[in-house]
Structure 1
């Protein structure tokens, strides 16, 4: 099996780092460039940046941020929020991003996934899927969980993978910011359908939550926000703890 990854996820509003709870009620938690430099010193495997501002008219602010962050960090950088076209993706990659995260656009124009994958390779395309509990299953949502997407979650995963997605970022709206643990049934569902790596996100509150998700699902990576923002936890300590349970990480 590939080595597992711990990935800090950084949510952005107007150039500031914020944290949400169930995709709402965000609060400012700092400067993304300074935070990225700290994560670099703590040997994070990657960083994910998601612009959650409602007015995503341009990817230029993201590109400007990537230029600054790439001077401080020496790890893969994934960035998403308002990416709709090959041109958007190319602009971000040319300015320091290694991967782009496509979310809402994946429902409207799956050919955009193919165009980006054809140009930069499938490893550069992460499809973000926000999922919310609905009855006995899950609904796919977008636009900061304000829009219900009329496509089954498993069908969307298969279609995006066929279009060229090289990885999935599965976020639980219900668990986001709660620090009560990952939605393990959701992650199991995504991993059972996807043939490419799955990143789980939403709910990490302590290292045992990471252990449970890694040992009880097939996720390749876990993305964490509140765990690192609101405790003295960090990626280096997390990997040291998890290594005690036979989980392998990149040696630093």
Structure 2
């Protein structure tokens, strides 16, 4: 996640910790042959700010793998600029509520595979999952399953499903909700929020039907409550748990 021009990692969308320079981190991930990187500017929408195009251009010039970007994308011209910089996908979250036609515009020009619909959700006091926007600061009047179905209708090619309650906790994914969303859709669901060990990745895919998994803390820290160490799980181990 990006905050200004720094790479940070959040905990439950509230506390965030400095990880390092994004460009240096990209270089490490290049060497580790990571499959794909997603950069989310966590303050752009809240601050009504455009993406930092110049900085994103620097990131894209260093990266050897597919890139996705989200944050502050509220019009098609800015989206086009992100693609022209060299990103393969854009992530749409808050704008899906405020600019209803944006997703269909992107899908029409670049294809549905280029649009990721991001859903951040949190359990309320009554145990109901509620979708949030603007980096988790604003509640929306819908649940994750209903909103995922609506995003698919709008034209997204995949869903990035993030549990705010589990973000940065290392306790595992929300398997029940991942399964419910996956069952309701015909597009891929990427599970996010809570991964703490390689086995958690296999659970999300094999038990809950996720098409892919996203990891944050696991690949930027040595272990829980320990220092920063950019890393990536052993590919043989990944094949065992995901295959």
Whose RCO is larger (CA < 8 A, sep 6+)?
A: 1
2:82 counterpart residue number: 92
Structure 1 residues 101-154: Cα deviation after superposition (integer angstroms, max 9, x where no partner): 000011222211000111111111001000112334311011121111012322
Contact 1:210–1:222 (CA<8 Å) still a contact in 2? yes
2:239 counterpart residue number: 243
Is the aligned partner of 1:208 residue 2:202?
Answer: no
- Take 1:129 and 1:37, find their aligned partners in 2: how far apart are those partners? 29
2:63 counterpart residue number: 73
Give the alignment's Cα RMSD to 1 decimal.
1.5
Is the aligned partner of 1:121 residue 2:118?
Answer: no
2:149 counterpart residue number: 158
Contact 1:78–1:101 (CA<8 Å) still a contact in 2? yes
In the alignment of these two chains, the number of paired residues is 234
What's the offset of the Cα at 1:56? 4.3
1:106 counterpart residue number: 96
Unaligned runs of 5+ in 1: 1-10
Task: Give matches, 1:8-19, under 5 Å.
Answer: 11-19=1-9
| Structure with greater strand share of residues | 1
- Take 1:86 and 1:44, find their aligned partners in 2: how far apart are those partners? 29
- Take 1:29 and 1:136, find their aligned partners in 2: how far apart are those partners? 32
User: What secondary structure does 2:34 align onto?
Assistant: coil
What's the offset of the Cα at 1:233? 7.4
What's the offset of the Cα at 1:165? 0.4
Contact 1:117–1:125 (CA<8 Å) still a contact in 2? yes
Task: Out of 226-235 and 20-29, give the one that drifted further.
Answer: 226-235
User: What secondary structure does 2:116 align onto?
Assistant: strand
- Take 2:5 and 2:217, find their aligned partners in 1: how far apart are those partners? 18
Contact 2:197–2:218 (CA<8 Å) still a contact in 1? yes
Contact 1:188–1:217 (CA<8 Å) still a contact in 2? yes
Runs of 4+ in 1 over 6 A off after TM superposition: none
Contact 2:198–2:233 (CA<8 Å) still a contact in 1? no
Structure 1 residues 134-182: Cα deviation after superposition (integer angstroms, max 9, x where no partner): 3343110111211110123222111111111001100000000111111
User: What secondary structure does 1:129 align onto?
Assistant: strand
Is the aligned partner of 1:230 residue 2:227?
Answer: no
Of residues 205, 210, 215, the one that matches 1:219 is: 210
Name the TM-score, length of structure 1 as normaliser: 0.88
